[in-house]
A and B are shown apart, each in its own frame.
Chain A
């Protein structure tokens, strides 16, 4: 009975999670190293988890949609400049902008209503960070979806943990860049 637990699916779950925690720990390390810059901003802790999730949600869905298109045959493995891919990229950027703006507004309203601090710049920080993170993460997601597909793998099995891990790191770095810009 005990041996039955440690079968192929056990190994698959464990190995995919080890990849996932590696990315999360790198992101956590960057977050801890920049605590005095990032986490001291009022309202940052409220929206930070949502911001980290957003990258995985948007890029993960993008990779998943492209994989479906590749398997259906409506997206060709060697053609990037198609209507469907352009539409997907456009939608991912617009969604990232909308959600970043929304998260910035939540933080701004919390600061204004609860902490009585007027911080309109936090809206811009999230918006700029969301766009920077998308500019890095979307091409990465597209490139690796096509790469794994061409190599004969199912991108759906690999890109989930991959995109969430890289998404965490790029999100925190983008927040830092946005902070410097603002």
Chain B
């Protein structure tokens, strides 16, 4: 087995070393008509192409994140006194966005492979995907909340059992609600775009990260206001 893997590795390395030509010159002439990216074309202005294709999505993401941030700014005086939640903020933002991307990427693959039938809610693979992501999300939330509380404790932040409980509750409820929202958005959105003969990956990723950013801050703001 080891020898086989070594040989395979050598062959892959040989393949990688083969000098490939750049895109066919025709690409440069037909890219507009057939909507082909010409980033690696012959006469391409690489930076201009990248900027033109990315700036819109990045500005949209910045607006959505800022709209969510508005909710936190409203409870700023209360929020900045909750050190464990400040420590958790970047982690929660990253983590929820990542789970959204995992769910949408894997569901899109399932759609492309024809694994999703009409009654998707009783499909074993979809139930498995949801359960896996939900369990990992709960484990990582518990770990990150525990670490945030330990750091706060050693930073001389006054921790009572009630505060510790509320921090855990806020983090777990926030992540659980968002995982459910992201999962159903991903499935319903994926089915919709797939029906329209589009690749769900192209639409679901930005939608998921935007919902994750916006939703996380709104839900955090609501939970902090309710519990503290």
**A residues in contact (CB < 8 Å) with B:** 4-5, 9-10, 13-14, 16-18, 20-21, 23-25, 27-29, 31-33, 35, 39-40, 43, 45-50, 52-54, 56-58, 61, 65, 69, 72-74, 77, 83-84, 86-88, 90-92, 94-95, 98-99, 102-103, 106, 110, 152, 160-161, 164-165, 168, 172
User: Can you report 28 A-B residue pairs in the complex whose CB atoms are below 8 A from each other?
Assistant: A5-B128, A5-B132, A13-B133, A17-B95, A21-B95, A21-B144, A24-B93, A24-B95, A25-B91, A25-B147, A31-B87, A32-B155, A35-B83, A40-B80, A49-B213, A53-B61, A84-B40, A86-B46, A87-B45, A87-B49, A88-B46, A88-B50, A91-B50, A95-B58, A98-B55, A99-B62, A164-B94, A168-B94
**B residues in contact (CB < 8 Å) with A:** 9, 12-13, 16, 18-20, 22-23, 39-40, 44-51, 54-55, 58-59, 61-63, 65-66, 68-70, 72-73, 76, 79-80, 83, 86-95, 97-98, 101-102, 128, 131-133, 135-136, 139-140, 143-144, 147-148, 151-152, 155, 209, 213, 217
How far is it, in angstroms, between the C-alpha of A146 and the C-alpha of B210 when the chains are bound? Answer: 30
Cβ B69 vs Cβ A95 within 8 A: no
If A45-B72, A72-B20, A72-B40 touch, does A28 touch B88 (CB 8 Å cutoff)?
yes
Nearest chain A CB to B48 CB, angstrom units: 8
Cβ A39 vs Cβ B51 within 8 A: no
Residues of A within 8 A of B23 (CB): 74
Residues of B within 8 A of A32 (CB): 83, 86-87, 151-152, 155
Cβ B50 vs Cβ A57 within 8 A: no
Cβ A25 vs Cβ B69 within 8 A: no
Cβ B94 vs Cβ A50 within 8 A: no
Cβ B69 vs Cβ A29 within 8 A: no
Residues of B within 8 A of A61 (CB): 54
Residues of B within 8 A of A28 (CB): 86-91, 148
Cβ B69 vs Cβ A57 within 8 A: no
Residues of A within 8 A of B143 (CB): 18, 21
Cβ A65 vs Cβ B50 within 8 A: yes
Cβ B40 vs Cβ A52 within 8 A: no
How far is it, in angstroms, between the C-alpha of A6 and the C-alpha of B143 when the chains are bound? Answer: 18
If A24-B91, A102-B59 touch, does A9 touch B69 (CB 8 Å cutoff)?
no
How far is it, in angstroms, between the C-alpha of A41 and the C-alpha of B84 when the chains are bound? Answer: 20
Residues of B within 8 A of A25 (CB): 87-88, 90-91, 144, 147-148, 151
Beyond A24-B93, A31-B87, list 13 extra A-B contacts (CB 8 Å): A5-B135, A14-B140, A17-B140, A24-B92, A25-B88, A25-B91, A49-B65, A49-B89, A52-B94, A69-B40, A95-B58, A106-B62, A161-B98
